[in-house]
Amino acid sequence: MTLSRITVSGETPYDVVIGTGILGELPGLLGPKVRTVAVVHPATLPEIARPVCGAIEAAGYEVVALPVPDAERAKTAEVAAELWSAFGRHGITRSDAVVGVGGGATTDLAGFAAATWLRGVKVVQVPTTLLGMVDAAVGGKTGINTPEGKNLVGSFHPPAGVLCDLATLVSVPRDDYVGGLAEVIKGGFIADPEILRLVEDDPEGARLPEGEHTRELIRRKVQVKADVVGADLRESGLREILNYGHTLAHAIERVEDYRMRHGEAVAIGMVYAAELSHLDGRIGAGIVERTRAILSSVGLPTAYRKEAWPALRDHMRLDKKSRGATLRFVVLDDLAKVSPLENPAEDLLEAAYQKIAR
């Protein structure tokens, strides 16, 4: 069994453990002082939660399994309140722990519930999707959605550890797996161009959990995330680069009422951000076309509905990256070089959108 262990530094350092068939590493992330573990998992995936609970019980912990709705339907104040009530009924104390098992929505919810219960209890994340492993579960951002937007209510609460068991990826639906590749590819544009080379070397293999470069792609993207959040947990500076492509992506998700996969929206958002970077004179057309080519090669979308622009523009006004009335985008100055673009002119925003409109 080959393990990769990436340490996320900061005030409370923790490890991200990556490998295949590694549930035996989970008790070590929980630590010896924990008595009861609340395992938050999608109700639709008991077959994934069962071995996690078994590994925890075998190590001598008391386990409470707490099923929640699937995907974004879990990330509501109502579901969070149900978890708080369950924590109370089962006597979860500050010396106990929460384990989030599932995709990014589940780990976001589990982290938020842990952050807010008793003003913060230990959480260990066990992401079971590509998107969860390379993005949502790493970094300590937790949150739920409101009718006004995605992740507008949340907290920074670093986990005690993250366990990425690549064996779980085999059961992920292909479209969901491909959606997660958008965040991997994003890491290549903002920080590690070797990721782009690996995808270009074998785009069909990149679409598969058992692809030749899968482990390396995941390891590299987790390292990008770890480097950034270890230096800037609370998004006061460097961490903002992780929002590349997300300003438009979050607006698309809102227009779609969250029926579009996050990664698909991010893919479109990256093309938009690249076009914005190009029209602002920061990058050449070659990087824009490379963005389209790489995303298209793995089956991700690169365009969106032309008539949706007015609604998208309205939703971008309420974005977590805005500062007061100032709309902020993360744009490219070159491969692996990003910077903020504040209050771009309306005609620039619309011109960039026309480049991706269909």
> pLDDT at position 96, please?
96
% of the chain exceeding 70 in pLDDT: 96
Phi-psi region of 60 (alpha: psi -120 to 50; beta: other; left: phi over 0): left
Catalytic residue among 262, 282, 292, 315: 262
Catalytic residue among 41, 157, 207, 250: 250
> pLDDT at position 235, please?
63
Mark whether 246 is an active-site residue: yes
Tell me the C-alpha distance between 142 and 154, whole Å. Answer: 5
Tell me: pLDDT of 322 over 80.
no
Mark whether 321 is an active-site residue: no
Tell me: pLDDT of 281 over 80.
yes
> pLDDT at position 234, please?
61
Q: What is the pLDDT of residues 19-30, one digit of tens each?
A: 999 999 999 999
> pLDDT at position 76, please?
94
Q: Domain map of the chain by residue range?
A: 4-171, 174-231+242-356
Catalytic residue among 220, 240, 243, 292: 243
Annotated binding site for Zn(2+): 183, 246, 262
Catalytic residue among 122, 207, 220, 239: 239
Fold of 4-171: Rossmann fold (3.40.50)
Annotated binding site for NAD(+): 70-75, 104-108, 128-129, 141, 150
Tell me: pLDDT of 176 over 80.
yes
C-alpha 235: how far from its chain's center? Answer: 15
> pLDDT at position 319, please?
62
Of the pLDDT bands very low, low, confident and very high (cuts 50, 70, 90), residue 153 is very high
Mark whether 235 is an active-site residue: yes
Cβ-based burial of 152 (10 A; exposed 0-12, middle 13-18, buried ≥19): middle
Fold of 174-231+242-356: Dehydroquinate synthase-like, alpha domain (1.20.1090)
Mean pLDDT of all residues in 327-337? 95
Q: List the single range of 89-103, 204-218, 222-236, 330-344 with lowest mean pLDDT.
A: 222-236
Catalytic residue among 33, 89, 119, 358: 119
Mark whether 250 is an active-site residue: yes
Tell me: pLDDT of 93 over 90.
yes
Mark whether 221 is an active-site residue: no
Q: What is the pLDDT of residues 290-320, one digit of tens each?
A: 999 999 999 999 999 999 999 999 999 876 5
- Which residues have a Cβ under 8 Å from the Cβ of 173 and sit 6 or more positions away? none
Mark whether 186 is an active-site residue: no
What are the start-end ranges of the E strands in 34-169? 36-42, 62-68, 97-102, 122-127, 141-146, 149-156, 161-165
DSSP line for 103-130: SHHHHHHHHHHHHHGGG--EEEEEE-SH
